[in-house]
């Protein structure tokens, strides 16, 4: 899971808000202005039942840790949620739930179909991590981000992943373990491999352009806007036309992956990842 968008550093925001509200005078030292006393911050923290937090932690580490880190303080590609403005404004998961259920497709985050109880547990864990970070009881790494151990992503069943690849997932209609995916687990590892599996943002699109004469020219899409479509053909030559003068059809490989976002189960993702990690 990834609560992407524009994120401000929550610590700085809370520090400003606290001292502005208290009317701190300019005569105070820089050390006094650095951050509010821990007691003041702790007073604003809300506690959650330990069993709810634990449930949320388990779910977070399964769904979200590969981007946001196991402790919600940032991973290799996902932001530190303990510093998120959206999380700071969240009440009982009302804002967190929206992002979880709709995803951020433009950032490569798929939607997750979660119940109200599951959202409540996730929110409890994330807010608890925020409180720990603000009170100083949490451990924050340099820059607030942490790497993702490949072992965190090795939780699926290889055989089930292979069956999904060749069957329900439809992966085999475009990919081959002995073709384009041969050795992929040697080239990509851990989070990088998982991101490529879920949202191959750099995959090249194909396009077929039909001219007024009926001739069809196909190739790799090189340019497309409201007025112009351009491609590179098999010989490496570039061609372009005004869109109003031709008909064209784009085949974007990434669309098939996006379509799977609403169909994946947690097991599908973990199992498919386990299978891809065997393709060395």
User: Could you tell me what percent of the chain has a pLDDT over 70?
Assistant: 77
Mean pLDDT of 181-205: 85
Mean pLDDT across the chain, nearest whole number?
78
| Long-range Cβ pairs for the range 170-173 (8 Å, 24+) | 170/256, 171/272
Q: Answer with the residue of higher pLDDT: 130 or 32.
A: 130
> Is the pLDDT confidence value at 213 over 80?
yes
Contact in structure between 51 and 57 (CB atoms under 8 Å): no
Q: What pLDDT does 141 receive?
A: 44
Collect all residues with Cβ–Cβ distance below 8 Å to 277 and sequence separation of at least 6: 153, 154, 185, 193
How many whole angstroms from its chain centre is CA 149? 16
Q: What is the pLDDT of residues 41-81, one digit of tens each?
A: 333 457 899 999 999 998 888 888 778 888 888 876 778 88
d(CA 127, CA 32): 26
Task: Kindly report the pTM of this predicted structure.
Answer: 0.48
Give the per-residue SS3 of the chain: CCCCCCCCCHHHHHHHHHHHHHCCCCCCCHHHHCCCCHHHHHHHCCCCCHHHHHHHHHHHHHHCHHHHCCCCCCCCCCCCHHHCHHHHHCCCCHHHHHHHHHCEHHHCECCCCCCHHHHHHHHHHHHHHHHHHHHCCCCCCHHHCCCCCHHHHCCCCHHHHHHHHHCCCCHHHCCCCCCCCCCHHHHCCHHHHHHHHHCCCCCCCEEEEECCCCCEEEEEEEEECCCEEEEECCCCCEEEEEHHHCEEEEECHHHHHHHHCCCCCHHHHHHHHHHHCCCC
Structure-derived torsion over alpha carbons of residues 265, 268, 273, 279, reported in degrees to the nearest 10: -160
For residue 237, name the pLDDT band (cuts at 50, 70, 90): very high
267: left (phi over 0), alpha (psi -120 to 50) or beta: alpha
Mean pLDDT of 145-157: 66
Contact in structure between 41 and 34 (CB atoms under 8 Å): no
Q: What pLDDT does 260 receive?
A: 85
């Amino acid at each position: 899971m990834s609560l992407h968008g524009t994120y401000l550093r929550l610590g700085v925001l809370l520090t400003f808000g606290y001292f502005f509200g208290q009317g701190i005078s300019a005569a105070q030292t820089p050390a006094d202005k650095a951050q509010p006393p821990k007691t003041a911050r702790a007073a604003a923290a809300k506690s959650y039942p330990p069993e709810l937090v634990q449930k949320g932690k388990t779910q977070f580490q399964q769904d979200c840790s590969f981007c946001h880190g196991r402790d919600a303080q940032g991973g290799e590609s996902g932001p530190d949620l303990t510093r998120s403005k959206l999380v700071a404004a969240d009440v009982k998961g009302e804002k967190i739930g929206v992002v979880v259920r709709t995803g951020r497709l433009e950032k490569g985050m798929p939607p997750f179909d979660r119940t109200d109880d599951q959202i409540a547990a996730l929110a409890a864990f994330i807010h608890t991590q925020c409180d720990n970070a603000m009170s100083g009881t949490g451990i924050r790494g340099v820059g607030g981000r942490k790497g993702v151990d490949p072992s965190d992503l090795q939780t699926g069943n290889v055989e089930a992943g292979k069956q999904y690849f060749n069957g329900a997932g439809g992966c085999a209609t475009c990919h081959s373990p002995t073709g384009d995916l041969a050795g992929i687990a040697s080239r990509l590892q851990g989070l990088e491999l998982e991101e490529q599996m879920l949202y191959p943002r750099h995959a090249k699109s194909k396009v077929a352009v039909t001219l007024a004469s009926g001739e069809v020219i196909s190739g790799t899409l090189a340019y497309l806007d409201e007025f112009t479509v351009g491609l590179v053909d098999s010989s490496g030559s570039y061609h372009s036309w005004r869109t109003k003068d031709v008909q064209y059809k784009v085949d974007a490989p990434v669309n098939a992956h996006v379509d799977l976002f609403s169909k994946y189960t947690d097991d599908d993702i973990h199992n498919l990842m386990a299978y891809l990690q065997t393709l060395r």
